[in-house]
Amino acid sequence: MEFRVLKRCKSNNARLGEIVTDHGRLETPVFMPVGTSGAIKGVSPGEAKDAGVEIVLANTYHLYLRPGHKLIENIGGLHRFMNWSGPILTDSGGYQVYSLSKLRTISPDGVTFRSHLDGSTHFLGPEKVMEIQRSLGADIIMTFDECTPSGAEHDYVLASVKLTEQWARQCLEEGKKNGQALFGIVQGGVYPELREMSAKGLVSMGFDGYALGGLSVGEDKHTRERVIKTTMEFLPKEKPMYLMGVGTPEDIIESVKMGVDMFDCVLPTRNARNGMLFTNKGKLVIKNARYAQDSSPIEDGCGCYTCSHYSRAYLRHLFLSKEILSFRLNTIHNLYYYTHLMNEIRQAIRDDRLAEFSHDFYRGEIESL
């Protein structure tokens, strides 16, 4: 992987960048839809590409459990398995250490899980996580980490930071497949000194990029922004910065201003399945009665397939009828909204007008394509 900063914003820390992988080039800041099990819920790879998606995130833990990393490797790797020719990033499973807390036990060597699928017992440590990610063949892979819950006590988070650093070093020693980039994950909860400690420890190891983990787990927006700003001060400006799991449009814009390059979040796809659609003038809940006879698209001027072919009235009908097509069409629109937002952010950085773009965004006055 190669990363280059193409332009820096004059009024803040935002930057326009370029990541080159074996499966293609992409510009940053970039948003990565979540394809946990090797699929973006509700849409095909072709539909995702048509919506502007350039890179997809998949999950090591879930693909390990089903269908199994060796099966995927034998078929030709994750790109071939899911028919996605662009870059892929795989999370290491560290988030599941947090989200499956009732099904796991942590030790210095790794984590013992009870499968959420069938209750079977499995062990994931740095060695196993790296083996799985080599088999999957993703372009960008992550170190194994512990994501601590919101409100965790200082001593617990301190121990977690030390464990995460130990696992990161072991992941580095295990090695990666040719063409893969390995990112270290900064933890430390909401404690500035622990974030600094984690960042400095990882930077000393020399990873290909750095991620900010352990956020969007219950902390308030002000605290999250403070943690991001504090952490970014200790990370190398020549490396890509990835903010994990944080992805409201507002969070993306504010984090870009602080120098973040990469984002992922389930919001565009999950909200689509729940009937909540993103527009430049705010959120639209398609089930509302006001749209029952509305012949207009979700958003006038939107270039997505859904807005080009279907009315709000029809989309409301599909959602209330619980038609599978509802999930697909809503997801296509929300993915397009996110990729269009990132295009606009990149263009604003290129034109030295990110401050104006941000101001217009909050006023709901961004022009649609």
Q: What is the pLDDT of residues 34-51, one digit of tens each?
A: 999 999 999 999 999 999
Q: Identify the active-site residue in 145, 251, 261, 264.
A: 264
pLDDT in tens, 71-85: 999 999 999 999 999
**Mean pLDDT for the stretch of residues 284-294:** 98
**Mean pLDDT for the stretch of residues 230-250:** 97
Q: Identify the active-site residue in 22, 50, 91, 360.
A: 91
CB 342 within 8 A of CB 327: no
Please report the pLDDT score of residue 367 as a whole number.
55
The DSSP secondary structure of 96-165, one letter per residue, reads HHHHTGGGEEEETTEEEEE-TTT--EEEE-HHHHHHHHHHHT-SEEE-----PPTT--HHHHHHHHHHHH
- pTM (predicted TM-score): 0.96
Mean pLDDT (the chain) is: 96
Please report the pLDDT score of residue 365 as a whole number.
58
Question: Does the pLDDT of residue 366 top 70, yes or no?
Answer: no
**Mean pLDDT for the stretch of residues 337-361:** 97
Please report the pLDDT score of residue 93 as a whole number.
87
Known catalytic residue at 360: no
CB 92 within 8 A of CB 145: yes
**Mean pLDDT for the stretch of residues 242-247:** 96
- 32 phi and psi angles, rounded to 5 deg: -110, 110
Please report the pLDDT score of residue 99 as a whole number.
85
Known catalytic residue at 264: yes
CB 145 within 8 A of CB 187: yes
**Mean pLDDT for the stretch of residues 307-335:** 98
**Mean pLDDT for the stretch of residues 259-275:** 98
Confidence of residue 369 (pLDDT cuts 50, 70, 90): very low
Confidence of residue 228 (pLDDT cuts 50, 70, 90): very high
CB 161 within 8 A of CB 231: no
**Mean pLDDT for the stretch of residues 112-126:** 94
Please report the pLDDT score of residue 94 as a whole number.
83
**Mean pLDDT for the stretch of residues 222-242:** 97
Domains of the chain: 29-265 (3.20.20.105), 272-362 (no CATH)
Please report the pLDDT score of residue 203 as a whole number.
98
Question: Does the pLDDT of residue 234 top 70, yes or no?
Answer: yes
